[in-house]
Chain A
Amino acid sequence: MSGRAPRAVALIDGNSFYCSCERVFDPKLARVPVIVLSNNDGCAIARTAEAKALGIRMGEPYFKIRDLCRSQGVRVFSSNYTLYGDMSGRTNAVYRQFSPRVEIYSIDESFLDLSDVAAPVRVELARDLRATVRAWTGIPTCVGIGPTKTLAKLANHIAKSVPALDGVCDLTDAAAYDHWLCRVAVGEVWGIGRASLAKLEAMGVESVADLRDLDPRPVRKGLTVVGERIIHELRGLACLPLDLVPARRKGCAVTRSFSARITDRATLEEAVAAHATRLGEKLRREGLGTDHVTVFYHTSEHDRDAPQRSVATTVSLPEHSSDTLALIQAVRLGVAKTWRDPSPDRPAWRYSKAGVVTNDLWPLTDSPRALIGALDRARSGSLMAAMDACNARWGRGAVVPARAGLVARREWTTKFDMRTPRYTTQVAELPVAHA
């Protein structure tokens, strides 16, 4: 659903969000450099200010900075998405007490509609919001306010980069708008990518104000409609409404890298069955079904000397379903159709990643039923509901289909070697208060 465009909108986001989540539960991490790594402990995806000061860049592969981290005492963590998702939910619950209209843009960024807040008190409200989020959840944030989403995003960038602003920048204020737009580089504008930036620089556009003052019509030819829209947004003409209710999910994917390369069919089948199990859970959570699944698995381009193979195959279901057992049956059929055994003259392929993907999801309640081969929805529904209830109560993976293998025995699962406890969702992993 898209509402009317707001007159004043705030973008609030968590500072080094993943690192800040870790710091809430471990006071030892205060004021020391901290980084969080991506899946399989690949690259740095969150860095505290102290880590940035050491020159650690966003997305830098961990193996390249391992020695630096060791010598500089950088605390390194695997991503703990269970914790980050929970903390994200908490921060958004606080935002909703300040504005009833919130668009959750990503795990750590939300737009708040402040149209109904009088201009003079917007900054005051933003400071109160920051302080409340910090006190209640422990997460430090920055707030940017603007007449449009593009300006709110820009204001947030300014609030982050200029310490004197104390985390809040309001571009609905005419003086601040005039002051900052000619001082910020055009590359900081939301939606200006590297290609557009090169074109703009060739046109002599350096600051945000230069871009704002371009004539939008010729720009449409060079920078597409998006470029024209950005110019309107920078002039304070809102083109982007708030998405208060995210659009219904159209597709869904569960993909994972293996912790090590795999070469045998049984492991691959277990992995895709586990992914199909997760896919089923995600679909059921939103009452959606799918009538096909695509299974893929491939070798790694990093294994340059090893033989390469990449497989993707789509299997149809008789009708839309979210039944885990039906999905597992389909993905196993996909593997059966495509698996090739090694032979004496052909060494085994070393697969690095597998996944299951589906597009064209449909609400189960109004999906057409199959004339032939219809699934028993009543029976499947009760079984799936019982399985989901067990997993909700005793933790994910408490009950799994045998094909997917017991969670504790899966050796192929993505590595999270340096993950902190799931402090907020697992009774056995609660933080300890020393008495």
Chain B
Amino acid sequence: MSLRRVATLPQDGPGTVRVPLVGPAVCAGFPSPADDFLEGALELPRWLVPNPPATFLMQVRGESMRGAGIFDRDLACVDRSLLPQHDSVVVAVVDALLSCKRYRIEGNTPRLAFDNPDLPAFAVDEASEVEIWGVVRFTIRWHVARGRLA
């Protein structure tokens, strides 16, 4: 038998997956010090989250991505197992902050761009190094004020 990595968890089947997964309840060697601190996981429908261990939720703050339909206080589902393509919406490290940006490939150079007509096109100098944290799979926005996160 040879072992091959499966790219994603099976998507069929009903129900929800836990994002994130709950850690190990019992370790074989040492008792887990996290045992007393495990919390209920944030649940999302399985068909929205093909790869739970690589999926993280974030809150978007700011208006620089309005053109992508992403607004202040929306919730972003970020998948670290996706590779960014031209025009992907990504979370990148900009000035040591996690930052939601448009990923553009100009010639052979990847660049991070705002997506807001009121702002300059590019968020980062051409010369700066771009570190991609993850790719935004989808965002959630509330259309009632009460449901929104504080």
Residues in A lying within 8 Å of B, measured CB to CB = 25, 27-28, 30, 79, 81-82, 84-94, 97-100, 103-107, 109, 114, 116-118, 125, 128, 132, 135-138, 243, 246, 249, 254, 278, 282, 285-286, 391-393, 395-396, 422-428, 430-435
Are A434 and B33 touching (Cβ within 8 A)?
A: no
Q: Is the CB of A85 within 8 A of B96?
A: no
**CA A227 to CA B96, docked complex, whole Å:** 50
Report Cα–Cα, A106/B23, bound state, in Å. Answer: 11
CB <8 Å contact, A106 and B100: no
Per-position 1/0 for B77-93, Cβ under 8 A of A: 01011000000000101
Q: How far is the CA of A87 from the CA of B39 in the complex (A)?
A: 12
Q: Is B127 an interface position by the 8 A CB rule?
A: no
State the CA gap A345–B78 with chains docked (Å): 64
A424 touches B36 (CB 8 A): no
Q: Is the CB–CB distance between B32 and A88 below 8 Å?
A: yes
Does B150 belong to the interface (CB within 8 Å)?
yes
Expressed in whole angstroms, the Cα–Cα distance for A85 and B35 within the complex equals 7
Tell me if A136 and B54 are in contact (CB < 8 A): yes
Contact of B29 with A434 in the complex, beta carbons under 8 Å: no
Is there contact, CB below 8 Å, between A431 and B37?
no
- 9 pairs across A/B with beta carbons < 8 Å? A27-B97, A82-B39, A86-B20, A87-B23, A90-B20, A106-B29, A278-B36, A392-B40, A434-B97
Q: Are B22 and A104 in contact (CB under 8 A)?
A: no
Query: How close is A369's CB to chain B, nearest CB, in angstroms?
Result: 27
Please encode chain B, from 57 to 100, with 1 for each CB lying within 8 Å of some chain A CB and 0 for all others: 11111111100001010011010110000000001011011111
Q: Which of A91, A392, A425 has the most CB of B within 10 A?
A: A425
Asked if residues A431 and B40 are in contact (CB atoms below 8 Å), the reply is no
CB <8 Å contact, A89 and B36: no
A90 contacts which chain B residues (CB < 8 A)?
A: 20-21, 52-54
A89 contacts across to B, CB distance below 8 A: 20-24, 53
Residue from B21, B27, B41 in contact with A107 in the complex, judged by beta carbons closer than 8 Å: B27
